[in-house]
Amino acid sequence: MLTGRNPPPERKLKAGEILHLTRAASPQFATPIQVRVIRELPERHPPYGWLWFEGYQLDAKGAAVAKRELFVLREGLHWLDAAPPVAPAVRRPSPRTLVKVG
């Protein structure tokens, strides 16, 4: 029995982190999803152990497909170490125009 000990500190959500949400986080995630965190919403005063946060739901390629506000059990969150790969932007050369001199 652990008496007189403090519980481990809660990990705070940071913008840009990727979470994998399953039923461990909430029954609404019968089908797991991945979410990129925008911000935690502490002003909603969730019950102990729960939290509200705003994030983007990601598709299989890591692109944002929907903005969501989610209510989850903090203990059920699973942080992913790396963000899913996102295709880099393609740089296109600017069109050149001929200039007549003289």
pLDDT tens digits, the chain, 102 residues: what are they?
Answer: 445 565 556 788 999 999 999 999 999 999 999 999 999 999 999 999 999 999 999 999 999 999 999 999 999 999 997 554 555 667 777 777 777 887
**Whole-number CA gyration radius for the chain:** 21
Query: How far apart are alpha carbons 37 and 24 in whole angstroms?
Result: 18
The model carries a pTM of 0.70
Phi, psi of 2 (to 5 degrees): -95, 105
d(CA 40, CA 55): 9
CA angle 44, 47, 52 (to 5 degrees): 45
